[in-house]
Amino acid sequence: MNKDHKVLYSGMQATGNLTLGNYLGALKNWVGLADEYECYYGVMDLHSLTVRQDPPAFRAHARELMMIYIAAGIDPEKNVLYLQSSVPCHAELAWILNCYTYIGELQRMTQFKDKSAKHADNVNAGLFTYPVLMAADILLYQADVVPVGKDQLQHLEITRDIAQRFNGIYGDVFTVPEPYIGKIGARVMSLQDPSKKMSKSDENPNASIYLLDDPDTIRRKCRRAVTDSEATIAYRDEQPGLKNLFDIYCACTGKTPEEVVHEFAGCGYGQVKEALSEAVIAVLAPLQEKVKELQKDKSYIDNVMKTNAERAYYTANKTLRKVKKKIGLTDVR
């Protein structure tokens, strides 16, 4: 890891069942960034607690996400890959930053509004202060850039506001992060409702392709994907279902929408779906193979989690100590 490089920070919730959206929209595009940046990627298990988790399944999912990061090609020696909960500084800084964040700001967060409508029986305080924990994640590592999809941009904006407010009072404590503008990942929509993003929390399993789905499941989900009754091969907003299938196909094959429209000219939607499922299977097969291999080597993953937690802690704690000193907390160590 090159310490002279700019710092890049990102992560995913450890809620299990990562989708093709998480992969094509985020993970796939993280590979190779370590050549240019000092990269930190968290398995965000504390964020997952806003939804009730089954403890054994939750533990397994966090571990699985770590394996998926590595299987996708993110080298745990060139990048820092760690479990958020293994670095206590996150929760500590989040508490401090809560005291520099206004209720009105949090009430404006669209994800909070959406999720509290969806989980009306469990609108907990963690769901409300979720963006503050995310700000702590990013600011602890003095990140210059944060690659996230559009759905997370509002959270990055509030992170910037909190950092600027804090710096305004105490001087330059935090680097104010920018969204990472690099190779933009695909925005993958639900296969059952192309007006919604593909999401791991979708209750309809046919709406999402999961990274560890087997080939038959992928074929079945693609066959059932919602299209339209126009029976026209085109890439346009008026045919959102087909457009989404083409976007996924492009992201998997590296082709452009024009090339794809040309390739399928005169075909039926069935042929598009068949080609799409084979393209998705081809992209996921090596990743799934590698996850299977990693699952066999318990001590390797244990070791990655331990050594990387130490590396992350070292950086995070430096920032936390500086913050504590600035605000007047006593350091007795």
**Which residues are tagged catalytic?**
115, 197, 200
Residue nearest to ligand TYM (CB): 25
Q: Is 37 helix (H, G, I), strand (E, B) or coil?
A: strand
Binding region for ligand TYM (CB under 6 A): 9-13, 21-22, 25-26, 44, 47, 134, 137-138, 146, 148-149, 151-152, 155, 185, 187-188, 197-198
Give min distance, CB of 282 to ligand TYM, in A.
19
What 3-state class would DSSP assign to 123?
coil
Q: How many whole angstroms separate alpha carbon 261 and alpha carbon 244?
A: 13
Which is closer to ligand TYM, CB of 9 or CB of 249?
9
Q: Kindly state the smallest distance separating residue 250's Cβ from ligand TYM, in Å.
A: 13
Beta carbon nearer to ligand TYM, 146 or 281: 146
User: In this complex, which beta carbon is closest to ligand TYM, that of residue 199 or of residue 253?
Assistant: 199
Nearest CB to ligand TYM, comparing residues 9 and 37? 9
3-state secondary structure of 9: strand
Cα(328)–Cα(321) distance, integer angstroms: 11
Beta pairing partners, 37: 6
DSSP string, 138-203: HHHTT-SEE---GGGHHHHHHHHHHHHHHHHHHSS-S---EE--SSPPP-PBPSS-TTSB--TT-S
Print burial letters for 215-236: b (CB count within 10 Å at least 16), e (below 16): eeebbebbeebbbeeeeebebe
Distance CA 78, CA 40 (A): 10
